[in-house]
């Protein structure tokens, strides 16, 4: 399929696919006249790129992890896992705080030892 159809199916603009090609993240095939052609494998890779972007990965990081032979791949994956774990810990802490605040009986949060503890974390 041509770039317009691929973009429509993915729910993104065609210029995004051109940019991903420029960055060597998803490189489509070409017709003899030079038009971009996207097959099912290209669309699958595009969906992976979108998912990776949703968790904050840059195109450089994505390119490194989807290309097995890319230098620094293991380090990029390890760093992203560490960042996800840190974010998860932060979100868990925020959830515990909000669950407490919802039922806190203190008129000011600063007077509540549990609320104050969160601000120091």
Task: Using the predicted structure, report yes or no on whether residue 121 has a pLDDT greater than 60.
Answer: no
CA angle 48, 52, 55 (to 5 degrees): 150
Strand 29-30 with 36-37, pairing: antiparallel
For the segment 36-40, the average pLDDT, to the nearest whole number, is: 97
Per-residue confidence band for 37, with pLDDT thresholds at 50, 70 and 90? very high
> Burial, 28: exposed, middle or buried (Cβ in 10 Å; 0-12, 13-18, 19+)?
buried
What local confidence, expressed as pLDDT, does residue 119 receive? Answer: 64
Look at the pTM and tell me if it is higher than 0.85. no
Average pLDDT (33-53) is 96
Instruction: Give the percent of the chain with pLDDT over 70.
Output: 95
How many whole angstroms separate alpha carbon 37 and alpha carbon 4?
A: 10
Residue range 86-107: mean pLDDT, rounded: 87
Across the chain, mean pLDDT equals 90
Across residues 55-75, what is the average pLDDT? 89
């Amino acid at each position: 399929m041509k770039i317009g159809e691929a973009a429509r199916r993915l729910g993104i603009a065609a210029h995004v696919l051109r940019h991903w090609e420029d960055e060597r993240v998803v490189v489509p095939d070409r017709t003899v006249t030079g038009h971009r052609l996207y097959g099912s494998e290209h669309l699958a890779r595009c969906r992976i790129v979108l998912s990776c972007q949703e968790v904050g990965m840059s195109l450089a990081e994505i390119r490194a992890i989807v290309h097995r032979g890319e230098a620094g791949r293991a380090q990029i994956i390890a760093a992203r896992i560490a960042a996800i774990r840190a974010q998860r810990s932060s979100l868990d802490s925020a959830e515990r705080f909000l669950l407490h605040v919802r039922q806190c009986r203190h008129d000011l949060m600063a007077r509540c030892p549990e609320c104050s503890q969160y601000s120091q974390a």
